[in-house]
Amino acid sequence: MIGKRVVVTGLSALTPIGNTLEESWGNLTAGVSGIAPTTLFDASAFETRIAGELKNFDATAYVGIKDAKRMDRFVQIAVAAGQQLMADCGLVMTENLAPEVGVLLGCGLGGLSTIEDFHSKLMQAGPRRISPFYIPMLIANMAAGQISIHTGAKGPNLVTTSACASGTHAIGYAFSDIKLGRITACITGGVESTITPMGVSGFNAMKALSTCNDEPQKASRPFDGDRAGFVIGEGAGLLMLEELEHAKARGAKIYAEIVGYGASGDAYHIVAPQESGTGMAQAMFHALRDAEITPETISFINAHGTSTKLNDKTETLALKTVFRDHAYKIPITANKSMIGHLLGAAGGVEAVFTAMSLHTGIVPPTINQDTPDPDCDLDYTPGSSREMPLEYGISNSFGFGGTNASVILRCFK
């Protein structure tokens, strides 16, 4: 492999099924759903009244009350995840190391709740009621900026915004920068919090969200014949990526190794994937080429699996294109069946869970797969987790605008 080796030395996750990595992973492998009635706003008049919200999240456990009030919820979540990550990885941010540690995150929409709040103030009371913190609260890159401020990381600091592929693209670029020797380590992954009136009404207008309000825990049904839209979620999933020799020198715990990244564009439609799955397949082919492995080497797949009719059918076609007969032998997991779709954070959270699968030898289940769909006929690990030897895992993310990304991790040896 050309370039430096890149390993995962820290993980953190704040998700609808847990406010820590341990809690999230435990519930994921147990098949526990985090989908419930919406509480972040009054959704009684909306077509969709369910979401994957964080439960009992308290930003003041990580930042002071004054600072918390000057952060949008997505930034609060990012800072909390960043602090959990630093505690897990044990990296000491010395004066010499700080310029070698980047913060590269994915975020799809940024501070939508802040925009809504201040727009209401503007309309009701005029421009003098707008806070000087309005812009710094809402811009997407403030997630990376605040993590940098709170951790002392002084390397490259930015956010990738590519819809639902944002987190995976961020991981791919962080991996590339370390592999090329530009930096030594990087805080990466994704964050999002857009369970707001505008967010939900916008996706409702597109007919993209599930309206199975009476049975929230069964609403997200990736690859199931009765799937009827995704469930919006919020949270963050972060990884500490580190150059192997640096990690070994400090005695770091190593969860997994990142070995390949691929991206592509459909050049087809603003929201619908190319129905042949060609663009999705191309991202996976690029990742396999980058990792210098064959499709048959992959042990399991963490699918994008949104629970929408077109995405799941198209992703299944793409998997068959890439893996051919081997596609029927690979266990596939769809985390969104339990946590919902975290949009720009999805790729980060799912990469965290992919690393945990390789670290523990457990493939989490896809829940709510009750009704067969002839268009989705692969092994989606229905019902319960599966313990098995795992060497390589691929995590997929696909987004509006026809943007596709895949990252490959392997069990560290």
Known catalytic residues are 164, 304, 341
Q: Which DSSP state fits 164?
A: B
Q: From CA 360, how far away is CA 300, in angstroms rounded? A: 13
Q: From CA 77, how far away is CA 19, in angstroms rounded? A: 10
Tell which residue, 402, 108, 171, 107, has the closest CA to residue 281. 402
Q: Which DSSP state fits 291?
A: H
Q: From CA 4, how far away is CA 241, in angstroms rounded? A: 12
Q: What is the phi/psi pair of residue 319, to 5°?
A: -65, -40
3-state SS assignment for residue 181: coil
Both tokens assigned to 256? 């997994």
Q: For strands 185-192 and 392-399, give the pairing.
A: unpaired
DSSP secondary structure, 186-235, as one string: EEEEEEE---SHHHHHHHHHTT-B---TT-GGGS--TT-TT---B-BB-E
Q: From CA 76, how far away is CA 94, in angstroms rounded? A: 25
Q: From CA 155, how far away is CA 85, in angstroms rounded? A: 17
Tell which residue, 296, 323, 312, has the closest CA to residue 380. 312
Q: From CA 156, how far away is CA 153, in angstroms rounded? A: 9
